[in-house]
């Protein structure tokens, strides 16, 4: 582990965003993960996405469970509140935090052990409730902190570093998220920043349960021949169905996709996704079709990436509960306490 | 000789679960209350939905003894399945009320009791066509018959029916007709019993309410905005009552939107997770559960302790261990709650004795959780939680402010106040916290269950860890001064013997103390209301040669806690334990304490 603090000095030519923050203002502590870890690339993509979206860093709450991936919120958005919770239980804590203050942006970071094994239930339930969040699983198919055990997302037939073959069926979190009603579902690869950064931006702008399964090779325990989550394997078997860019509501950036191939999708907050189709017949507004496509491609040994499903008109948990527009944690005594007069009426009804 | 009693007897209804008897029985109890005579009513029910036996016990007690007395003077035997044991339970000289439609052999009765038969089924079959009507009105008919037998004013029951079915005139008329049917049968064929209810003025302004509802209302007044829960008997009705009260009291009048969020979670782990997340983010949050739920929540409770996050848990205790006796009462989660978590953890407990205190402590728990930044338990049990108790009316001071504890907001951070999330500042062990999003560049910190320094940065250094754990002990000591203090009830004459008790045992203990005193056995009494234990509790123990600790569990959990926390010599504390799943009775306490006091004479220095 390293305990190096980052130097405070900024490069004078770092470009500030619309809020006047440079990319450095979105960074956190120095990572203590292994050199080359896919997770660090994802942290970097999160930093880039937040910087490009002009998000005030302190308005993001970052939550995680336990594991290598769950350590990463310390390594980005250093001015944000973060919460490294208990193993597999980040989704419930994030749900509670979200209920307390609907105005913040919630970023849940988890791993395949944290979400597909111990936390499978909480993963599924937070998604089916439509919690407004971005839930990222940094999926390496292996337990890193405890040194190399298979996780539940390891593909059947894949080999561990020690040569052990996994006989259990792998859990596909993307399919599960689709079944559980996630309204934004994507898969990406930590080594593909061009695809990942726009996906994170779009997911952060999405109002509802957004899920990104990000394959993130473990350089120590799952980057060998026989692994289906190694850099080489994923690069060879990656089938991107689309590329996209996100145009935030207030910005007028144009993108360079050729017209005709690009589908604009307006999101709740006024931002627009420009979706550049790669797989000819792939329709990301079709939940059932997405599930079928994923299964078919998976059977061929391909890893489908890109924006797999989007419901731009999604409702979130607060809408379902009909909560007030202001954060619950700002309500005053007067708004919360019914007072002595109401209590007198209740007393009278109990005699 | 048939029993004779005025405003002082026990009626027990033996029913079949799901037969609609509950509301009729409750009306019977409420009618007596409306006549100004206190009652103590208790449901005794097994863990099932339909078809199995269920009992409802009403103690009519002008003297105001709200605990169980023990014994039954009038059995309303409506369940053939339990007939034999129900009949056997009647006190000698007592009464048996039954449905005499079908003749029963003499061997099914006792000759030392008075048998009162009313052909309920025959009357119903003659009056009603629909099976459901026959079933439901049968209950009202027996209430009418009992009213005539016991001298309960029929007009009071008519008024209750009118209130219950307000706006549904046809239902009121039909129920009143059934009520009169029962009354008239008794007038024509039977004579009143020697058990009588007579109007009195002993109820005052007290209210009749379940502890779960009272605690839920306390949470509303205490400013709780987030509730996450998972159904488990006997706590379910607490979350449901909170939902009901919020729908009435917590809607924004302008928008019609909810000033609360309630989530029925997938399990107890998620419930407490939601509570911890909301507490971390500055909302007042709680869950309601019972023993098995507390077991599941234990990891999160430890996190709340170590990461210092406010949370409130209402633990409505039931019979354990494991699934135990899910619909029976016990006080058996004390140790599990007090020390929940791995590693060194302890948590404040509030111990309400009746629904009135469920309300007060239900509200206070949120102030304490915010002030102490930790999990606070409110320990109800099935007896208080799921039975309607006569209790003092709820009170609220409109000038009362919610104590949000030590929180630094934007202005303080902007002004440059030093912030260390786990930094001791005032000597009370409680650090300051910030809510997420408070300030663009100041006040952010990373919350973790791992060891960290006072500025919330990861640290496994031994001295840093120990410093933090010592501060948590200081904080717990601060809690000692904040939890409700014990209540002393001195004997009428000086004594070297005492009792310590808490929670739902209270009314039975008070009644027993009266009986014991009547028999010349004087005991000082101290009711414990909070953990960590106040100094007065240990002073009380030191001031007496022998102290009986009365509780409703097998392992003497309060006694164990006292011995452990106060380093008390175990021989000074004598356990009096009742844990068969039924609420403790005054008779049990009186008999047990009398026996124990006669078995061992007090130490010589105790002599006056």
Residues B455-498: pLDDT tens digits? 999 999 999 999 999 999 999 999 999 999 999 999 999 999 99
pLDDT above 90: percentage of residues in chain A: 72
Write down the residue that tokens 């102290």 correspond to. Answer: B547
Q: At what angle do helices A90-100 and B268-280 cross, to 10 degrees?
A: 50
Residue A186: beta bridge partners? A212, A307
Model confidence pLDDT, tens digit, residues B191-224: 999 999 999 999 999 999 999 999 999 999 999 9
Nearest residue to B494 via CA among B541, B539, B546, B544? B544
Compute the nearest-CA separation of B551 from chain A (Å).
29
Please tell me which of the candidates A97, A325, A342 has its beta carbon nearest to residue B277.
A97
**Residues B5-196, CATH architecture:** 3-Layer(aba) Sandwich (3.40)
The answer to whether the beta carbons of residues B486 and B549 sit under 8 Å apart is no
**Chain Cα centroid distance, residue A37:** 18
pLDDT recorded at residue A250: 60
- Listed by number, the residues of chain A in 278-337 with a beta carbon closer than 8 Å to a beta carbon of chain B are 317-318, 321-325, 328-329, 331, 333, 335-337
**How far apart are the C-alpha atoms of B158 and B384, rounded to whole Å?**
28
- B315 backbone dihedrals φ, ψ, rounded to 5°: -105, 105
Task: Using the predicted structure, report yes or no on whether residue B603 has a pLDDT greater than 80.
Answer: no
Q: At what angle do helices A90-100 and A120-128 cross, to 10 degrees?
A: 30
Yes or no, beta carbons of A125 and B439 under 8 Å apart = no
**Pairing label, strands A133-139, B497-501:** unpaired
pLDDT above 90: percentage of residues in chain B: 95
Yes or no, beta carbons of B273 and A92 under 8 Å apart = yes
Compute the nearest-CA separation of A346 from chain B (Å).
8
Q: Which residues of chain B are in CATH 3.40.50.920 domains?
A: 487-607
Longest Cα–Cα distance in chain B: 88
**How far apart are the C-alpha atoms of A278 and B502, rounded to whole Å?**
70
Average pLDDT for A135-140: 96
**CB contact, 8 Å: A339 with chain B?**
yes
Contacts with B559 (C-beta within 8 Å, 6 or more apart), sequence order: B549, B551, B570, B573, B575
Yes or no, beta carbons of B225 and A336 under 8 Å apart = yes
**How far apart are the C-alpha atoms of B263 and B228, rounded to whole Å?**
5
E strand intervals along B336-374: 349-350
The answer to whether the beta carbons of residues A183 and A311 sit under 8 Å apart is yes
Please tell me which of the candidates A83, A94, A350 has its beta carbon nearest to residue B207.
A350
Coil, strand, or helix at residue B130? coil
**How far apart are the C-alpha atoms of B143 and B58, rounded to whole Å?**
13
Question: pLDDT confidence of B608, banded at 50, 70, 90?
Answer: very low
pLDDT recorded at residue B41: 96
Yes or no, beta carbons of B274 and A84 under 8 Å apart = no
Task: Using the predicted structure, report yes or no on whether residue A2 has a pLDDT greater than 50.
Answer: no
Yes or no, beta carbons of B273 and A89 under 8 Å apart = yes
Contacts with B84 (C-beta within 8 Å, 6 or more apart), sequence order: B108
Model confidence pLDDT, tens digit, residues B231-256: 999 999 999 999 999 999 999 999 99
Chain B environment of A346 (Cβ under 8 Å): 217, 394
**How far apart are the C-alpha atoms of A318 and B1, rounded to whole Å?**
67
H or E element, residue B169: helix B169-189
The answer to whether the beta carbons of residues A150 and A160 sit under 8 Å apart is yes
**How far apart are the C-alpha atoms of B24 and B164, rounded to whole Å?**
11
pLDDT recorded at residue A252: 45
What class is the B487-607 domain?
A: alpha beta
Q: Is the dihedral angle over the CA atoms B82, B85, B91, B96 positive or is it negative?
A: positive
Task: Using the predicted structure, report yes or no on whether residue B344 has a pLDDT greater than 60.
Answer: yes
Please tell me which of the candidates A83, A323, A342 has its beta carbon nearest to residue B280.
A83
Compute the nearest-CA separation of B380 from chain A (Å).
20
Model confidence pLDDT, tens digit, residues A303-324: 999 999 999 889 999 999 999 9
- State which residue of chain B sits closest to A349, comparing Cα positions: B207
E strand intervals along B100-240: 114-118, 195-196, 207-210, 226-229
Mutation to test the B interface, candidates A62, A120, A336, most B Cβ within 10 Å: A336
Chain B environment of A339 (Cβ under 8 Å): 396, 398
Task: Using the predicted structure, report yes or no on whether residue B307 has a pLDDT greater than 90.
Answer: yes
Yes or no, beta carbons of B395 and A322 under 8 Å apart = no
Nearest residue to B33 via CA among B299, B352, B391, B335? B391
Model confidence pLDDT, tens digit, residues B152-200: 999 999 999 999 999 999 999 999 999 999 999 999 999 999 999 999 9
**How far apart are the C-alpha atoms of B371 and B308, rounded to whole Å?**
11
Model confidence pLDDT, tens digit, residues A188-218: 999 999 999 999 999 999 999 999 999 999 9
- B325 backbone dihedrals φ, ψ, rounded to 5°: -120, 90
Cis, peptide link before residue B160, omega less than 30° from 0: no
pLDDT recorded at residue A267: 77
**How far apart are the C-alpha atoms of A169 and A15, rounded to whole Å?**
47
Report the complex ipTM: 0.94
**CB contact, 8 Å: A80 with chain B?**
yes
Yes or no, beta carbons of A338 and B220 under 8 Å apart = yes
Cis, peptide link before residue B234, omega less than 30° from 0: yes
pLDDT recorded at residue A8: 65
**Ranges of H-type helices in A269-325:** 287-299, 317-321
pLDDT recorded at residue A1: 38
Chain B environment of A340 (Cβ under 8 Å): 395-398
The answer to whether the beta carbons of residues B85 and B72 sit under 8 Å apart is no
Q: What is the residue-averaged pLDDT of chain B? A: 96
**Residues A23-330, CATH architecture:** 3-Layer(aba) Sandwich (3.40)
Yes or no, beta carbons of B257 and A74 under 8 Å apart = no
**CB contact, 8 Å: A145 with chain B?**
no
E strand intervals along B230-284: 261-264
pLDDT recorded at residue A10: 66
Yes or no, beta carbons of A96 and B276 under 8 Å apart = yes
Task: Using the predicted structure, report yes or no on whether residue A37 has a pLDDT greater than 80.
Answer: yes
Chains A, B: CB contacts within 8 A come to 229
The answer to whether the beta carbons of residues B499 and B523 sit under 8 Å apart is yes
Please tell me which of the candidates A58, A125, A338 has its beta carbon nearest to residue B266.
A125
Write down the residue that tokens 């640290």 correspond to. Answer: B459
Domain boundaries of chain A, sorted by first residue: 23-330
**How far apart are the C-alpha atoms of B19 and B124, rounded to whole Å?**
14
Average pLDDT for B540-555: 98
- A138 backbone dihedrals φ, ψ, rounded to 5°: -90, 100
Yes or no, beta carbons of A96 and B262 under 8 Å apart = no
Question: pLDDT confidence of A268, banded at 50, 70, 90?
Answer: confident
Compute the nearest-CA separation of B421 from chain A (Å).
11
**CB contact, 8 Å: A351 with chain B?**
yes
Nearest residue to A188 via CA among A132, A112, A239? A239
Average pLDDT for A273-298: 88
Coil, strand, or helix at residue B75? strand
Nearest residue to A99 via CA among B277, B230, B229? B277
**How far apart are the C-alpha atoms of A282 and A276, rounded to whole Å?**
11
Task: Using the predicted structure, report yes or no on whether residue A85 has a pLDDT greater than 70.
Answer: yes
Contacts with A319 (C-beta within 8 Å, 6 or more apart), sequence order: A130
pLDDT above 70: percentage of residues in chain B: 99
Question: How far is the CA of B256 from the CAs of A341, B253, B602, in angstroms?
Answer: 21, 6, 66
Please tell me which of the candidates B217, B258, B281 has its beta carbon nearest to residue A97.
B281
What class is the B209-391 domain?
A: alpha beta
**How far apart are the C-alpha atoms of B331 and A167, rounded to whole Å?**
48
pLDDT greater at residue B602 or residue B33 = B33
Nearest residue to B371 via CA among B214, B483, B224, B218? B483
Tally Cβ neighbours within 10 Å of residue B169: 10
Average pLDDT for B293-306: 98
SS (H, E, C) A128-180: HCCCCEEEEEEECCEECCCCCEECCCCCCCCECCCCCECCCCCCCHHHHHHHC
Question: pLDDT confidence of A259, banded at 50, 70, 90?
Answer: very low
Longest Cα–Cα distance in chain A: 76
The answer to whether the beta carbons of residues B526 and B487 sit under 8 Å apart is yes
Chain B environment of A321 (Cβ under 8 Å): 258, 261-263
Contacts with B129 (C-beta within 8 Å, 6 or more apart), sequence order: none
Mutation to test the B interface, candidates A22, A24, A93, most B Cβ within 10 Å: A93
Q: DSSP of B309-344, one letter per residue?
A: --EEEEEEE-B-STT-BTTS-----HHHHHT-SSSS
Question: pLDDT confidence of A247, banded at 50, 70, 90?
Answer: confident
**How far apart are the C-alpha atoms of B33 and B373, rounded to whole Å?**
42
Nearest residue to B583 via CA among B146, B43, B19? B43
Model confidence pLDDT, tens digit, residues A44-71: 999 999 999 999 999 999 999 999 999 9
pLDDT recorded at residue A251: 54
**Ranges of H-type helices in B442-484:** 462-482
Compute the nearest-CA separation of A344 from chain B (Å).
8
Coil, strand, or helix at residue B305? helix
Both tokens of A76, joined, read 């980005």
Both tokens of A122, joined, read 């909480």
Cis, peptide link before residue B321, omega less than 30° from 0: yes
Q: What is the residue-averaged pLDDT of chain A? A: 91
pLDDT greater at residue B429 or residue A262 = B429
Compute the nearest-CA separation of A18 from chain B (Å).
15
pLDDT recorded at residue A4: 59
Mutation to test the B interface, candidates A50, A96, A323, most B Cβ within 10 Å: A96
**How far apart are the C-alpha atoms of B67 and B10, rounded to whole Å?**
12
pLDDT recorded at residue B606: 44
- State which residue of chain B sits closest to A72, comparing Cα positions: B446
**How far apart are the C-alpha atoms of B249 and B244, rounded to whole Å?**
9
Task: Using the predicted structure, report yes or no on whether residue B121 has a pLDDT greater than 70.
Answer: yes
Average pLDDT for B35-58: 90
- State which residue of chain A sits closest to B274, comparing Cα positions: A96
């Amino acid at each position: 582990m390293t305990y190096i603090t980052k130097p405070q000095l900024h490069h004078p030519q770092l470009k500030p965003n619309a809020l006047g923050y440079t990319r450095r203002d979105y960074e956190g502590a120095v990572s203590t993960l292994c050199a080359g870890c896919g997770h660090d690339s994802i942290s970097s993509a999160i930093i880039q996405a937040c910087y490009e979206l002009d998000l005030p860093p302190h308005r993001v709450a970052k939550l995680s469970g336990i594991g290598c991936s769950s350590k990463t919120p310390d390594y980005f958005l250093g001015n944000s509140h973060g919460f490294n919770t208990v193993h597999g239980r980040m989704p419930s804590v994030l749900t509670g935090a979200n209920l307390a203050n609907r105005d913040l942006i919630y970023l849940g970071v988890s791993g395949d052990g944290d979400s597909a094994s111990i936390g499978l239930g909480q993963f599924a339930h937070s998604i089916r409730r439509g919690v407004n969040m971005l839930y990222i699983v940094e999926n390496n198919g292996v337990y890193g902190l405890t040194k190399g055990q298979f996780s539940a997302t390891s593909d059947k037939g894949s080999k561990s570093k020690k040569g052990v073959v996994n006989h259990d069926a792998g859990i596909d979190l993307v399919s599960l998220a689709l079944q559980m009603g996630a309204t934004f579902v994507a898969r990406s690869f930590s080594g593909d920043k061009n695809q990942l950064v726009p996906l994170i931006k779009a997911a952060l702008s999405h109002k509802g349960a957004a899920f990104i399964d990000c394959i993130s090779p473990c350089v120590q325990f799952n980057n060998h021949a026989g692994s289906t989550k190694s850099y080489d394997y994923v690069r060879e078997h990656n089938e991107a169905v689309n590329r996209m860019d996100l145009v935030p509501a207030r910005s007028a950036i144009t993108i360079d996709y050729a017209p005709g191939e690009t589908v604009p999708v307006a999101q709740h907050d006024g931002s627009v996704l420009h979706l550049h189709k790669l797989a000819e017949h792939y329709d990301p507004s079709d939940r059932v079709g997405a599930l079928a496509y994923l299964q078919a491609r998976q059977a061929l040994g391909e890893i489908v990436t890109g924006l797999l499903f989007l419901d731009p008109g999604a409702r979130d948990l607060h809408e379902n509960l009909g909560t007030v527009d202001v954060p619950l944690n700002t309500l005053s005594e007067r708004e919360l306490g019914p007072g002595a007069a109401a209590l007198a009426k209740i007393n009278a009804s109990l005699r | 000789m048939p029993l004779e009693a005025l405003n002082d007897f026990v009626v027990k209804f033996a029913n079949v679960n799901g037969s609609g008897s509950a509301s009729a029985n409750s009306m019977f109890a409420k009618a007596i209350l409306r006549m100004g005579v206190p009652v103590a009513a208790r449901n005794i029910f097994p863990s099932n939905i339909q078809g199995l036996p269920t009992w409802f016990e009403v103690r009519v007690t002008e003297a105001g003894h709200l605990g169980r007395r023990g014994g039954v003077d009038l059995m309303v035997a409506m369940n053939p399945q339990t007939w034999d044991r129900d009949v056997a339970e009647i006190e000698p000289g007592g009464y048996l009320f039954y449905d005499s439609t079908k003749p029963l052999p003499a061997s099914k009765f006792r000759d030392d009791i008075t048998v009162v038969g009313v052909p309920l089924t025959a009357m119903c079959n003659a009056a009603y066509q629909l099976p459901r009507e026959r079933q439901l009105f049968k209950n009202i008919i027996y209430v009418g018959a009992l009213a005539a037998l016991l001298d309960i004013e029929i007009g009071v029951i008519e008024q209750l029916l009118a209130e219950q079915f307000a706006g549904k005139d046809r239902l009121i008329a039909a129920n009143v007709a059934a009520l009169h049917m029962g009354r008239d049968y008794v007038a024509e064929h039977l004579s009143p019993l020697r058990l009588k209810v007579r109007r009195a003025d002993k109820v005052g302004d007290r209210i009749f309410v379940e502890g779960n509802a009272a605690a839920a209302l306390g949470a509303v007044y205490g400013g709780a905005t987030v509730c996450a829960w998972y159904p488990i008997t006997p706590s379910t009705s607490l979350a449901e009552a909170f939902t009901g009260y919020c729908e009435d009291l917590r809607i924004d009048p302008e928008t019609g939107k909810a000033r609360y969020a309630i989530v029925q979670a997938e399990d107890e782990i998620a419930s407490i997770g939601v509570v911890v997340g909301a507490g971390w983010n500055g909302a007042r949050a709680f869950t309601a559960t019972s023993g098995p739920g507390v077991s599941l929540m234990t990891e999160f409770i430890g996190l709340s302790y170590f990461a210092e996050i406010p949370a409130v848990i209402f633990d409505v205790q039931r019979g354990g261990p494991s699934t135990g006796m899910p619909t029976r009462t016990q006080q058996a989660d004390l140790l599990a709650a007090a020390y929940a978590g791995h590693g060194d953890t302890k948590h404040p407990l509030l111990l309400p004795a009746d629904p009135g205190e469920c309300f007060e402590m239900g509200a206070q728990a949120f102030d304490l959780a915010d002030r102490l930044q930790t999990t606070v338990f409110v320990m109800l049990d099935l007896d208080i939680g799921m039975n309607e108790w006569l209790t003092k009316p709820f009170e609220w001071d409109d000038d009362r402010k919610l104590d949000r504890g030590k929180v630094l907001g934007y202005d303080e951070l902007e002004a440059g106040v030093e912030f260390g999330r786990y930094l001791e500042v005032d000597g009370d062990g409680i650090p300051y916290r910030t809510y997420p999003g408070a300030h663009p560049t100041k006040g952010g910190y990373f919350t973790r269950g791992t060891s960290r320094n006072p500025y919330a940065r990861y640290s496994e250094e031994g001295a840093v860890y120990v410093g933090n754990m010592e501060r948590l002990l200081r904080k717990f000591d601060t809690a000692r001064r904040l939890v409700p203090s014990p209540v002393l009830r001195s004997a009428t004459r000086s004594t070297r013997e005492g009792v310590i008790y808490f929670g739902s045992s209270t009314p039975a203990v008070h009644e027993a103390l009266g009986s014991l005193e009547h028999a010349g056995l004087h005991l000082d009494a101290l009711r414990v209301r909070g953990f960590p234990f106040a100094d007065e509790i240990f002073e009380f123990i030191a001031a007496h040669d022998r102290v009986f600790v009365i509780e409703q569990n097998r392992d003497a959990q309060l006694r164990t806690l006292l011995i452990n926390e106060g380093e008390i010599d175990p021989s000074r504390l004598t356990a009096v334990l009742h844990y068969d799943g039924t609420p403790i009775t005054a008779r049990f306490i009186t008999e047990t304490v009398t026996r124990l006091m006669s078995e061992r004479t007090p130490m010589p220095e105790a002599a006056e």
